[in-house]
Structures are given as structure tokens and as C-alpha cells.
Amino acid sequence: MPTAARASIRVLVEPQVYLVGRQVLNTEAMEEFLDDHGMAWDTDTDVAGERLAEAAGRLCYLSFGKGRKTNKEYLQHILTVGHGSVLEHAVWNFIFAGVSRSMTHELVRHRAGFGYSQLSQRYVDESQADFVAPPIIAEDPELRALFEECVRHCQETYVTLAAKLTERYAQVPDLTLRRKLARQAARAVLPNATETRIFVTANARALRHFIELRGDEHADVEIRAVAVKLWEIMREEAPNLFGDYERYDAPDGTPALRTQWRKV
């Protein structure tokens, strides 16, 4: 049975982005390949994604060899000439939390180079869910009160519907299936503001494309906040791949991103 809705609504404003996975370069296999083909290669970065992107680029032209460009110089050249395909070999994994269903509807439009696994409203009870409000609403007492009243009503209606639907499905012997059937119908009244969590896997080229589009000052404020947080993580994680972006204040005072090397 679904539990009662919360007495007080918890409103979230700041998204959370967690870097939970990264690649590891198999150095033994890489060295075996180089030895088998009479080549040698050394690079000055310990970041697997940066090493893999460089290796992929050098393989295209068999430009392995000592005394060549640093990894930063090499990848900067890749960005300059727009040889973006080599960036697709560098992959990371993230969890986004404190984000709205509205935001993830936009997020999952980014298909090329991305993989997603999102919290299921068919299986997860949303009677205790939080809600995400745009800052312009959350920071205004009158607008916030209206927002909280609306989402509270939606959540209370969800709880009532889920309980009654569970009774309607009493003939279904499997309790898990019964709850799923009830929740998948009751979720229809939950608003776009409902908080969700989503596991995201993406390669460096796809991440750059996302950051450029969604970090732009014309993007929605929430997804732009996600793009900025994602970039802040990747700037530290792989500066040779993401260090070219500049953070600046958009006309509305919120942070935005730009780079001279777009559409790599």
C-alpha cells in the first residue's frame, strides 16, 4: 500500500551530479600492440579518457613515437581541427539527482553517445517524493507558496489514486505486479516538477555536445545548471578534453558556458 503524502513539501533547487565511473586503459595490451607493430608511444597524462582519445587519434595516422606533442597539445589540435570522432572512445558514468522529470525529458533527447537508466515510477512509490522548483519560483515567497500548494495536491491525489487502484487490482495475486499496475496509472497526476534520479553514461564527444547546447545562456535554467555542474566535474577530471570552456554570467545572472571550439 502507498504511504501517506508528506505533511510538508520538500522543494529542491540545486541539481546534484556524481561522477561514479571512469575507464581504465589496459596498458599491457596497448604495449603489446605497439611492440607487435614496431612502434613506441609515451604520453604525459594519467587520465584514461585522455590517453584513449590520443591513442585513437594517433592510430588514424600511425603517428606514435616519442618526442611528439604533449597530450594537452595533441588534444587541443584535435579540438581545433574538429576531429571529434576520436573523443567517442573516452567514456564516463554519472548519477544525476535532485532533477525534475521535466529536465530529464530534455536530457534523454541526447541519444547519440549517451545511455540512460532512470528511476521507475511504475515500481517506486512516489508518495514521499520531493519536487524541483525553478529558482525564480523558489526564491519568491508568494510563488513558492502557490507551487507547494499545487504539488502537495498532486501528491495527495497520487496517494489516494494509488490506494484505490491497489484495491481495484485485488484479484491480481502477485503483490509486486499489483502495486506496479496501481502506480503506473496513479503517476499520471504527478507533475513535471517531481524529482527523479538517472544514471547516465556518455562519451567525451557527446558530453561536449551536451555542454555546448545545454550550457548555453538560451537553454532552460535547470538543465543549464546540470550542464555547468557536469562541466565543473569534467574540467577537473579531464582538463585536456574540457578545459577550453569559459564560464560567464548569462543576462539573468545565472552561469552559462561557451567555447571557441564548437561542434567538435
Please enumerate in sequence order all residues whose Cβ is within 8 A of that of 121, keeping only pairs 6 or more positions apart, or say none. Answer: 183, 184, 187, 190, 194
Catalytic residue among 101, 187, 208, 214: 214
Q: Which of 141, 138, 139 is nearest to 130 (CA)?
A: 138
Q: Is 56 exposed, middle or buried (0-12, 13-18, 19+ CB in 10 A)?
A: middle
**Is-contact 112 223, C-beta < 8 A?**
no
Q: How many CB atoms lie within 10 A of CB 117?
A: 11
Q: How many CB atoms lie within 10 A of CB 75?
A: 27
**Is 214 an annotated catalytic residue?**
yes
**Is-contact 45 71, C-beta < 8 A?**
yes
Fill in the DSSP letter of residue 251: T
How far apart (Å, rounded) are the C-alpha atoms in residues 58 and 39?
A: 11
Q: Quick one: which H or E segment has residue 203? A: strand 195-203
Q: Which of 70, 133, 60, 74 is nearest to 100 (CA)?
A: 133
Catalytic residues, by residue number, are 214
